[in-house]
Chains A and B, each alone.
Chain A
Amino acid sequence: MRSVVRTEKLTKRFGALTAVDGIDLEVHEGEVFGFLGPNGAGKTTTLRLLCALIAPTSGTAEIAGFKLGRDDSKIRAAVGILTEQPGLYERQSAWDNLVFYATLYGLPTPVARAQAERYLRLMGLWERRTEPVVTFSRGMKQKMAIARAALHEPRVLFLDEPTTGLDPDAAKTVREFIVALRGEGRTVFLCTHNLDEADRLCDRIAFFRHRVLRIAQPDDLRAELYGRATEIRLLPKPRAEDLVRVQAVPGVREAHLENGSIVVASADPLRTNPLLVKALVDGGAEIAFVTERRAHLEDVYLKIVEPIE
């Protein structure tokens, strides 16, 4: 898999404060990469570094094949960024905003117009293209800002809190857009506090507080930190002997009763679950559901990020 973002010991200091402390990152082409961390962790600074908006104090980075510090203008042409604030020209129409930015990205006029139309339609704003942005709702402004960031078809799109403050409908549009971008082979670097969203969208997640604490796939992190648990609901309810049978199944690490279910932790559920079902059925139990019990990403986040506070 090709890397589109690669950093080595990338560091940014502001006086005595080290905002970004020697990070090593590798983000692959076509993946949605989550970047999670508490407020003040240095996420926005990292984004600004990777978009060649500010210079690193030390370390190196290569974005979309261009070297940070040497090809900054090319990096800015190859990436798009959604900043924390939409930052739109509110007295001007949606159309004028997008065509203006398309021009600044060097798109020839016919292409600029075609791209503005494409993204306004994609975001469901085409019918309101002539209206000043000041009349738009927060969700519409956020969609406009995302359209602006993607308008020049960047290879990497950096999104800082893209769904914060949006209603469920607008948030869904944004999430679908991110999935569509991944489908086109684009890379999305997603900064978010919405852990459920990160869980649903991201192929890999980096937990960050001034330095990268951990990078992994969400499921792997859950499995590593909490093991893989299976929840078995029995009718009418589990008996003590059912629990004993389950505990005797090879591969079971731990089993307990919880809210009318048996919760079983095992190293390899794919191998253990059929044995569990067989043992229970052989013992006369009536099984209603067998489901995977997933730890919430929030638990994972709190376990990785919080302890160093």
Chain B
Amino acid sequence: MTAAVLAVSPARPTLVRAVCVREWREALGNKLLVGMTLLPPVVILVAGIAAVAAAAVNPPSDRDVQALYAAAPAVAGLDPKEAVQGFIATYFLILFMLIPTVVPLTMAIYSVIGEKASRTLEPLLATPVGVGDLLFAKSLASTVPSVIVTWAAYGIYLATVISIGSRAAAQAVTAPRWILAIVVLVPLLTLLSVNLGILISTRVNDVRVAQQIGGLVVVPVVGLGIAQVTGRVVLDNGAFLEMTIVLIVLDLAVFWLARLAFQRENILVRWR
């Protein structure tokens, strides 16, 4: 007599939940990964708060103020102390946009290279799960913590700047454009970074090499941020909308490329 086969393809939400929980457990057990995940937001947060606090107690020199007015026309005309705080508060907001490019990249890279190294991919692929669903679940497992960490860091920064900073600083961090950027662009940037990390991980076996290649994703963000702070580019509502559309297109394109690379046969036969 043959016993009944119990298996079926799992429902997508069940699969996503199972993969996320497993990946998070695995990540929490990896002290290096936890450290690398938390270090950038903590450093940016502490530095941002310290810089705003320092600007509140140390009045800038006339020369610094003139240079600031020239570099950042948005704060021209404000009281020097206010202007410096507003400038610093905005500058650190740009650094917050770096968190979703750095933090999930490491997680995503570990998620694929870790499985390659421990040879856990073959049993995983032997299940009735679709590889597209698996890739989606893996993307989400790296995206969710990164978005939460970025939002939490921003929340703390927001509250601290409002309580210790000047009116200009408070206005800078609560500008609807920036709130929208944090709410909308952070998840999009995170997804881009995650799928880029997965894509790179399909080709290399060394976490450090993958991080170095993936790290290039920060360059356009930094460039854009510097251009915005120095007044070379004005990020108005139209620009934010364009950036959002570009990021959505990039996200879809990179996910599609990652999906192409993430095929059962490729993984088992060609990945080394």
Q: Which residues of A does B touch, CB under 8 Å?
A: 14, 29-30, 48, 51, 53-55, 64, 73-74, 76-78, 80-81, 83, 85-92, 96, 100-101, 103-107, 111, 115, 132, 145, 148-149, 152-155, 184-186
Contact = CB atoms under 8 A, between A and B. Distances in A.
Given A73-B128, A77-B128, A96-B25, A101 B8 contact: no
B187 to A, nearest CB: 26
Given A83-B119, A104-B18, A154-B7, A185 B269 contact: no
Nearest to B10: A106
Contacts of A149: 123
A111 B10 CA distance: 13
A83 B126 contact: yes
Interface string B108-144: 0000000000111111111111100000000000000
Nearest to B15: A104
Given A91-B30, A92-B22, A96-B25, A106 B118 contact: no
Contact of B6 (A85, A115, A184): A115
Contacts of A153: 3-7
A231 to B, nearest CB: 40
A277 B124 CA distance: 60
Contact of A186 (B2, B9, B10, B15): B2
Nearest to A93: B25
B127 A105 contact: yes
Interface in B56-110: none
B265 interface: yes
A171 to B, nearest CB: 21
B1 interface: yes
A89 B269 CA distance: 21
Given A89-B22, A90-B118, A92-B25, A53 B125 contact: yes
B238 interface: no
A192 B57 CA distance: 76
A232 B269 CA distance: 54
B123 A148 contact: yes
* Main SS at interface, chain B: loop
Contacts of B35: none
B14 interface: yes
A105 B128 contact: yes
A96 to B, nearest CB: 7
Q: Find the residue from A51, A74, A91, A148 having the highest chain B CB count within 10 A.
A: A91
B268 interface: yes
Nearest to A154: B5
Given A88-B120, A100-B18, A106-B11, 13 more contacts: A30-B2, A74-B128, A85-B122, A87-B121, A104-B10, A104-B18, A105-B6, A106-B128, A148-B123, A153-B5, A153-B6, A184-B2, A185-B3
Contacts of A104: 10, 15, 18, 124, 127-129
A91 B25 CA distance: 9
A42 to B, nearest CB: 13
A301 B90 CA distance: 76
Q: Find the residue from A106, A145, A186 having the highest chain B CB count within 10 A.
A: A106
A88 B118 CA distance: 8
Given A73-B128, A104-B10, A78 B5 contact: yes
Nearest to A73: B128
A239 B121 CA distance: 66
- Listed from nearest, the 10 A-B pairs whose CB atoms lie closest are A152-B7, A106-B8, A77-B7, A105-B7, A185-B2, A91-B29, A85-B119, A106-B10, A77-B128, A104-B127
Given A87-B122, A100-B18, A105-B128, A54 B265 contact: yes
B264 interface: yes
A110 B92 CA distance: 49
Contacts of B122: 53, 81, 83, 85, 87
Given A87-B120, A92-B25, A92-B26, A101 B127 contact: yes
A48 B268 contact: yes
B135 to A, nearest CB: 14
A81 B126 contact: yes
Contacts of B123: 81, 83, 87, 101, 145, 148-149
A81 B127 CA distance: 9
Contacts of B30: 91
B116 to A, nearest CB: 11
14 contacts: A53-B126, A64-B5, A73-B130, A76-B126, A78-B7, A81-B122, A81-B126, A88-B118, A96-B22, A100-B18, A104-B18, A104-B124, A153-B7, A154-B7
A107 B26 CA distance: 22
A35 to B, nearest CB: 17
Contact of B265 (A53, A88, A92, A105): A53
B264 A107 contact: no
Contact of A107 (B1, B6, B120): B6
Given A92-B26, A185-B2, A73 B9 contact: yes
Contacts of B15: 103-104
Contacts of B29: 91-92, 132
Contacts of A91: 25-26, 29-30
Q: Find the residue from B5, B14, B22, B120 having the highest chain A CB count within 10 A.
A: B5
